[in-house]
Amino acid sequence: MTKRLYLYDADLLAFTATVISIDDTRIELDQTAFYATSGGQPHDTGHITWDSGAAAVIDVRTIDGKVLHTLAGVIPEVGTEIHGVVDADRRMTMMRTHTAMHILCGVIWRDWKRVVTGGSMDALSGRMDFEIEQIPEGFANEVEDLCNVEIKKDRPVEVSFLSRDNAVLDRDLIRTKNNLVPESVEEIRVVDIVGLDRQADGGTHVSSTNQVGRIEITKTESKGKGFKRIRFVLHDD
């Protein structure tokens, strides 16, 4: 099984690993810093090199429990030691966006006590669905202002790990409508925007809210009775 290095250090961009299996143009490594698409967060990209070759990493997915890296170029053999480098710009945009989603989730939970029913993200943009009956006039502007206040507070973003037995005792850790943490997971990773939001989460995040940038709520829309969608983009200013 691949050790996912990004779970412990989201700033880690370079690493060494060994190829443990090959599936056509995809390789499995004994450890990786490349984030695999999951939880609404897209995969990392980058490249790998080894003594006799190099290849671009264009996709990373978890399939049947294996973290598979899709390569463009030559495929290294099983047993090859590789050096991997994650695209820093893409990683940072994804970290900013994912933390922004948690800020939005934290504000909606704190002030309206509404749970998340879905969400997805891309580089510097995303959407989240909430269990909300009606959106009052001025809601988008209010949410935007509240999120940007939290960003400017420069709240630290901390990562910790809890046993599943302890984690299930904390109801605030699961902010989604349904518990998305597989039963097979024995250790729960917790992302804590200190003083605002604390959730079970497997994604990559910045280390403080001030790194997110400015949130702009671009649209709110209905997704059926009792369900509303909030779309946002991030700006550098």
Question: Could you tell me the CATH number of the domain that includes residue 77?
Answer: 2.40.30.130
Residues 119 and 35 in one domain: no
Domain end point (choices 86, 107, 140): 86
The pLDDT score that the predictor gives to residue 225 is 86
**Which residues are registered as beta bridge partners of 72?**
56
Last residue of a domain, one of 21, 51, 86: 86
Q: How buried is 41 (Cβ within 10 angstroms: 0-12 exposed, 13-18 middle, 19+ buried)?
A: buried
pLDDT digits (tens, 9 = 90+) for 86-135: 999 999 999 999 999 999 999 999 999 999 999 999 999 999 999 999 89
Token pair 């990683």 in the structure block, residue = 91
Per-residue confidence (pLDDT) for residue 50, from 0 to 100: 98
Q: Is the pLDDT of residue 176 over 80?
A: no
Q: Pull the structure tokens for residue 70.
A: 């899709």
Q: Are 60 and 29 in contact (CB under 8 A)?
A: no
Q: Can you tell me whether residue 93 is helix, strand or coil?
A: helix
Question: Residue 169 pLDDT more than 70?
Answer: no
| Res 166: pLDDT | 77
The domain that holds 104 is classified in CATH as: 3.30.980.10
Residues 132 and 180 in one domain: yes
- Residues 126 and 228 reside in one and the same domain: yes
User: Above 60 in pLDDT, residue 178?
Assistant: no
- Judge if 66 and 135 occupy the same domain: no
Q: Where are the alpha helices (DSSP H) in 113-229?
A: 139-152, 164-167
pLDDT band with cut points at 50, 70 and 90 for residue 181: low
Shared domain for 63 and 142, answered yes or no, is: no
Q: Are residues 46 and 125 in the same domain?
A: no
The domain tally of the chain equals 2
Per-residue model confidence (pLDDT) at position 173: 73
pLDDT per position as a tens digit, 17-72: 999 999 999 999 999 999 999 989 999 999 999 999 999 999 999 999 999 999 99
Domain with 200, as residue range(s), is 91-235
Q: How confident is the model at residue 224 (pLDDT cuts 50, 70, 90)?
A: confident
Domain co-membership, 104 together with 139 = yes
pLDDT at 174 over 90: no
Q: What whole-number distance in Å separates Cα of residue 96 and Cα of residue 163? A: 27
Beta carbons within 8 Å of 29's beta carbon, 6+ residues apart? 2, 17, 18, 19, 20, 67, 69, 82, 84
**Domain stops at, among 66, 86, 106:** 86
> What pLDDT, on the 0 to 100 scale, is given for residue 184?
63
- Rounded average pLDDT over 72-82: 97
| Same domain assignment for residues 130 and 163 | yes
- Mean pLDDT, the chain, whole residue set: 93
Question: Over the stretch 128-166, which tens digit does the pLDDT of each residue have?
Answer: 999 999 899 999 999 999 999 999 999 999 999 998 877
According to DSSP, residue 207 is labeled S
- 82 plus 101 within the same structural domain: no
And the tokens for 92? 């940072």
34 in the same domain as 62: yes
Q: Are residues 74 and 160 in the same domain?
A: no
- What is the per-residue pLDDT across 212-221, written as a single tens digit (0 to 9) for each? 999 999 999 9
- Among residues of the chain, what percentage have pLDDT more than 90? 84
Helix axes 88-112, 139-152, angle to 10 degrees: 120
CA–CA dist 37, 58 (Å, integer) = 12
Do residues 71 and 25 touch, judged by C-beta distance below 8 A?
Answer: yes
150 and 168 part of one domain? yes
This prediction's pTM = 0.93
